Chains A and B, each alone.
Chain A
Amino acid sequence: MLTILFDGIAYGMLLFVLACGLSVTLGLMNFVNLAHGAFAMAGGYATALLMNRAGLPFLLTLPFAFGLPALAGLVLERILYRPLYGRPHLDQVLFSIGLVFMAVSGTDWALGSGQQFIRLPAWLQGRAEVLGVPVGLYRSFIIVVCGVLVVALQLVLSRTRFGSRLRASVDDPRVARGLGIDVGRIFALTFAVGSGLAGLGGALGAEILGLDPTFPLKIMIYVLIVVTVGGTSSIAGPFLAALLLGVADVAGKYYVPSLGAFVIYAVMIAILVLRPQGLFARAR
């Protein structure tokens, strides 16, 4: 069933965009940021509000969905996150869960606890036949956007000076610092971009996953699954993991709906038992 494969890939791509920022911050700064989903929610709300209240078209809101969370990430990294690098993971968990609580409650207070809806433009609604396979237009759009993002990220990482510095800092921040790389600035930039990507993921995913104040909690588990299964040392790892999980989830629910809820967890446990460092991590 190609349609199932297609749906799975679209779902996986979405998971990847939501998760890749976390994967990088975790790998780079060794920071367990459970508040990642809050940035995704910020992106989703930016799009929803700009569309519904300011009347902007969907596409034009996407830069905001990226930019606003990125800006928020930049500021928060400066004043809140930075003092906590190098602190025990438990401190970071405590701190970021606190942030999630505040984000959830604050959003509830400011914008209400109901669902926010995004009205897609007409050209993204419905479906089309491609090579005899009916595909949803919006899901195709997600695949295209995310595909472009993956390629761009990979190029930035492997071809640019910033990328090589980033990789060096991930591999060994001490040596990187010794070589004169401003690791702090790289941290800040990466954190901002990661938050922005999460925001973009939130905006793109709002239509499929639903958007309400509990969004950060709802997606936290899925995002963490992708990151752990994919490992944190590259872009390719989480990407392939997200695709795998997306396809497995959708296919599992289609073919054995009675066991649908188990599939994604079972796959994750199996993979982690066999490869505790993640599916695609380099041995350390």
Chain B
Amino acid sequence: MSAPPPGLAAVEAGFAARARLRLVEPALALVAVACFFAFPDRHLLMAEIAVLALFALSLDLILGYAGIVSLGHAAFLGLGAYAAGIVAVRVTPDPLLGLAAAGIVGGLAGLATSPLVLRGADLTRLMVTLGVALVMGEIANRESWLTGGADGLQGIAMGPVLGFEFDIVGRVANAYALAVLVVLALLARLVVLSPFRASLVAIRDNPLRARAVGIPVNRRLVAIYGLSAAYAGVAGGLLCQTTQFVSLDVFGFERSADVLLVLVIGGTGWLYGGLVGAVLFKLLVDALSSLTPQYWHFWIGLILVVLVLVGRDRMRDGARRLVGRLGPPRTAP
């Protein structure tokens, strides 16, 4: 390229403006900290929410920013969970190393399977990703010498994280999960507010045109898919470490479907959709399943149906108006 085109300065200023922290973001962190102290008997639920939020965030990276739908994201969650579990059992009980291993395994698997999802329309992608997750689950069932098979992986005992032992109330697990979530969300924020994101959005909205303006479409998609898979892997690792248990259901179809629900409830493409969705979904499930342990699915179903019929956009816009203009930048889905 020779001289920079005239509008570039303005574009750069635009990116810089987006990258500034909005008011709502420290507010969210504050709320999380407040909840940590306000509900000392719900640490476990909060840890579970944090894990689900991170998992939803990983899906948002590909769905919200690159337009890749997936019904098999649990493949990477599961790989991460087993990686963390196996590291804990066979190598070292250190949680952070295990978490790193989970992320790396997830990311590599994402890169390896990315050629499968680059082609095809929504439905094809849904089914290919689903197929990958189901195959992974079958492999984990079969290789029981490594994974413990259908009984689940036994004997995970985590060491202390930065000097704190995991306790039965779940306080350390919760703090650990929240901290990982915050760090990774900030990292993701850097990514999605960069020019990299702009190219992804261009690809999502119109791959042909993106290719025409010189964006290396495939490479970008591979990169974001790998990153998303690594995030999912970390979420899996976190799940394994906070519960100190892994079983085959981490690969289950229900996980992939649930995370998609969570993300759609919270809204795609604005990074905090996963968080909002995870909080709403988990609290709802927890409340309903305590009220009617047998039939809570019915009420969840009813709420989903009403949500769609009333229009989740309308509801969210209403909420937005309430919050005013505090919300972070958001791209239309």
Binding site for B on A (CB under 8 A): 26, 32, 80, 83-84, 87-95, 97-106, 108-109, 221, 224-225, 227-228, 232, 261-262, 265-266, 268-269, 272-273, 276-278
Contacts and interface: CB of A to CB of B under 8 A. Distances in A.
Contacts of A101: 297-298, 300-301, 304
A232 B260 CA distance: 24
B244 interface: no
10 contacts: A88-B333, A90-B260, A98-B301, A98-B303, A103-B301, A104-B297, A268-B131, A273-B119, A276-B120, A276-B121
B120 A102 contact: no
Contacts of B121: 276-277
Given A102-B298, A272-B127, 10 more contacts: A95-B304, A98-B303, A98-B307, A99-B301, A101-B297, A101-B304, A224-B123, A228-B124, A262-B138, A273-B128
Contacts of A32: 123
A252 B112 CA distance: 26
A265 B134 contact: yes
Interface of B: 69, 115-116, 119-124, 126-128, 130-132, 134-135, 138, 253, 257, 260-261, 264-265, 268, 294-298, 300-305, 307-309, 312, 333
Nearest to B300: A101
Given A95-B305, A100-B301, A101-B300, A268 B119 contact: no
Contacts, number: 122
A149 to B, nearest CB: 24
Given A95-B305, A106-B298, A90 B120 contact: no
Contacts of B135: 262, 265-266, 269
Contacts of B69: 89-90
B134 A273 contact: no
Given A94-B264, A98-B308, A105-B295, A272 B301 contact: no
Specify which of A93, A98, A100 lies most central, judged by the most chain B CB atoms within 10 Å of its CB.
Answer: A98
A105 B298 contact: yes
A97 B132 CA distance: 21
